[in-house]
Structure 1
């Protein structure tokens, strides 16, 4: 069965992801389709769930207020996308690993090519130049996508980052720190400080990523902001780990 509910104060795709994730934690919920424009959610359930119980699922985020939609009071709505007429989930064609992570793979490819060109501009391959340009491209590109929907990124980031969970404003600060690091690497500003700070920042970020992946929770990765719907996985661990390794390697070279 599927019921439609009003949900207020959803402002971005990050809100959509968070509301969907929270409602899906209820064992009776088999599917959730959130309409940001209309401020509604179609909740498919295996057995009836009272409205107070659904509201309880959102209690940690009081800005989201759930109520029964007029005209849909305990009535089955039209089948939501991904469900049949009985409200049962319909399996969608599985996407390949490449299809899922295509945005990150394309970005990594472009940055790698640009870094290789910069590293070989003087003739022999320069490993230091490669890592510096790669990290500049990484932070500038990823901060750009976060800036496209800063609030959405901050809210998605708070779902798994250990600092953002306790300090919601950290998501906003983190996006600007990435921008600053990108500019610092691009201009080679204070390389010792920049690399040391990067190693610490990415290590803290990695803790939350590891916790989410090891807990096997389905959480959207916020690395590319709220623009792309990428799942948290070992790819995210590799991404953060690579930045830590590069910053430590460059720090060792400078020292």
Structure 2
């Protein structure tokens, strides 16, 4: 890391391998940042390795994943900025609320405690896990058709299928259950410190055609921060689905995120 560079931790979401961030890493490096993209606990070095050992990802919940990244952050020379997608966006907010990161971008973030909308498309997208209570301690995977509905609905079918073949991996079902029942538990792992005035700036990004995390969910998340004096901003990409960080239009989203990081970069 050069003296003027700032670390950026990229956090993937459920069902997507962290290697999918490679294009973002290259863009962030060009912009003068020092990016890393560690995987969740149990995620292998490659998508193929992770698929071959699905049980390795099973059983981990939101707190396990957040603490995993907290330990990684503790080893960095300075407080990083963070970008998270889907459940990675929830984890990013967790870390921001704990004041472990300087700023956070949460892209199509999984719902934090307090978010009320439960769209039908969300239920359909996550039914592969939530449909069976016995899945709570297991790893679950999407098939290509399920991926196309959940991630690739705004894409041509062949592009969705290609992304599925390249990046889709099994993941723990536990975070799905924890997020789904967050509002019934005051101490839910999906709770974040939304009232913290001392935390760094937050950008919430939504995709207008997202089936897993529709814009109503992102807007509701933004409202949870209304009592905090810290910076909270919302941005939208109206024609994008949940694949917006890894499909052919990734650069538009990444450049917007980098521009926001530049504006909120620590001195």
1 or 2 for the larger relative contact order (CA 8 Å, sep ≥6)? Answer: 2
In terms of fraction of residues, the more helix-rich structure is: 1
Q: Same fold (TM over 0.5)?
A: no
Q: For the superposition of Structure 1 and Structure 2, which TM-score range results when normalised by the shorter chain? A: under 0.3
| TM-score of the superposed pair, with normalisation by structure 1 | 0.25
